[in-house]
Structure 1
Amino acid sequence: MTLTEAPDTEVPDTDAPDTEAPDDDRTAERADAARNRARLLAAAARLVAEQGAQSVTMQEVAEAAGVGKGTLFRRFGDRDGLLLALLDEAEAEFLEAYTSGPPPLGPGAPARERLVAFGSALFERMAEGGDGDGGGGGDGGGDSDLGAALGRQLLHERRQASDTARAFHQHVSTLLREAGVEGDHEMLAHALLAFANFEAADFLRKERDVPVERLRATWADLVRRVTRAEEGARAPE
């Protein structure tokens, strides 16, 4: 997955537009700020693809983007903030796939099938994202999934607070409701997604030699048990 690169021409940093400026000037400043943000994220994406997320520093991103390091910190706060912003950008394609793409991942299939497809896609993307090198592994090659590679480098707490994680949780919770599952959909969604996080999946794959096919099958089994349990409870009625 690649991000559209911003033009090489640097534009002034305009994080704090002058409140006294005319409307046209403020509009231009906001456009400059958006271009600067895109420029920084494009530079970060290139570096992650070339050497892996765990090796990328704020100084390297600033130099690649042609801006001062202070600009980078003002925009994103810290390195995790930058990676979170890059993660949300990189996940746009997957978001489109499970919200408006073809079934069974996208709309048009029964909710249970969509849940199975969603978890299966998550585990496949974790495998494509590698085992922790965060991207190209330093040689610039490979087809690693950028979103998965970035997510693996973020602390669990920061990742869970991201727009991407919230979207995943909302999606699973909604599908559980559509599948007719009774109970606390929000907590059930957390329980399912806890199995499909990087820490659990990487431990099982690397320390227990569990293949991704088995992880996918177990996710499908969990989904079927949750949905069938509710069907069984309603059957006597």
Structure 2
Amino acid sequence: MTTERADAARNRAVLIATAREMLAEVGADKITMDALAERSGLGRGTVFRRFKTRPGIFMALLDDGERAFQERVLSGPPPLGPGAEPLDRLVAFGRARLGFLRENREIARAAFDGRTPVPFGPPTTMTRLHIGTLLHQAGVAADLDILAMQLNAALDVPVLLYAAPECDGRDDEGFEERLASGWADLVHRLTR
């Protein structure tokens, strides 16, 4: 593992913070490589080296958010973090993951440039491992690798990116709650 130079780490932090500010103020559509360079006070070359493409900005924002999410899962308070029963953690994990994906939907849409096979990048190994571990701890007797992969798919980003909650006349948050309730139901049925 290579260690990031101190100046590169500072630049990354400045660019991520600036991109988040711009996202809140003007939305994803207005964030460009040039606008990010100007707003951050860093050179255009620095921005291009760091992100390579405009979708790279959003992939970096997702990666940054994913790290924070994983920290909550690994060491946050129960039931999401350690200390709760495995099934309670699994339900809490699904609810938190769906919330995370909903909160980052605009970023994920901007990260998807048609060349990226999955808008959030490759499936997270951490998510599948975490689900598999909780299933094992709950005593589920099955092919846990496959089951974890299938459950991970239920929490996958395309559901939230492309499912249209407004098509049934319900609001976005109601849709998220329905997905979270469906996740809890799925976990409880699976582990009976």
TM-score range with shorter-chain normalisation?
0.7 to 0.9
Deviation at 1:64, TM superposition (A): 1.0
Deviation at 1:35, TM superposition (A): 1.3
Deviation at 1:158, TM superposition (A): 4.6
The aligned counterpart of 1:112 is: 87
Match status 1:186 vs 2:145? yes
What's the TM-score, normalizing by structure 2?
A: 0.80
Contact 1:173 1:186 in 2 (8 A): yes
Match status 1:161 vs 2:122? yes
CA distance in 2, matches of 1:152, 1:173: 28
Q: Of 107, 129, 136, which aligns to 1:170?
A: 129
Deviation at 1:47, TM superposition (A): 0.8
Deviation at 1:185, TM superposition (A): 2.3
The aligned counterpart of 2:167 is: 207
Aligned positions of 1:69-80 closer than 5 A: 69-80=44-55
Contact 2:79 2:89 in 1 (8 A): yes
What's the TM-score, normalizing by structure 1?
A: 0.66
The aligned counterpart of 2:13 is: 38
CA distance in 2, matches of 1:68, 1:33: 12
Query: Which has the larger share of helix?
Result: 2
Give the % identical residues. Answer: 44
SS in 1 for 2:42: coil
Query: Structure 2: where are the runs of 5+ without partners?
Result: none
Structure (1 or 2) with the larger CA radius of gyration? 1
Q: Deviations over 1:106-145 (max 9, x none)?
A: 1111111111111112233445x2xxxxxxxxxxxxxxxx
The aligned counterpart of 1:151 is: 108
Q: Give the length in aligned residue pairs.
A: 181
Q: Stretches of 4+ moved more than 6 A in 1?
A: none
- CA change 1:51–1:190 in 2 (3 A) is farther
The aligned counterpart of 2:63 is: 88
Letter in 1 for 2:61: L
Letter in 2 for 1:195: A
The aligned counterpart of 1:224 is: 188
- CA change 1:179–1:204 in 2 (3 A) is farther
Query: Structure 1: where are the runs of 5+ without partners?
Result: 1-26, 130-146, 229-237
The aligned counterpart of 1:234 is: none
Letter in 1 for 2:187: V
Letter in 1 for 2:54: R
Match status 1:56 vs 2:31? yes
Contact 2:105 2:160 in 1 (8 A): no
Letter in 1 for 2:62: L
CA distance in 1, matches of 2:66, 2:31: 19
Q: Deviations over 1:60-83 (max 9, x none)?
A: 111112233232121222222222
CA RMSD of aligned residues (A): 2.5
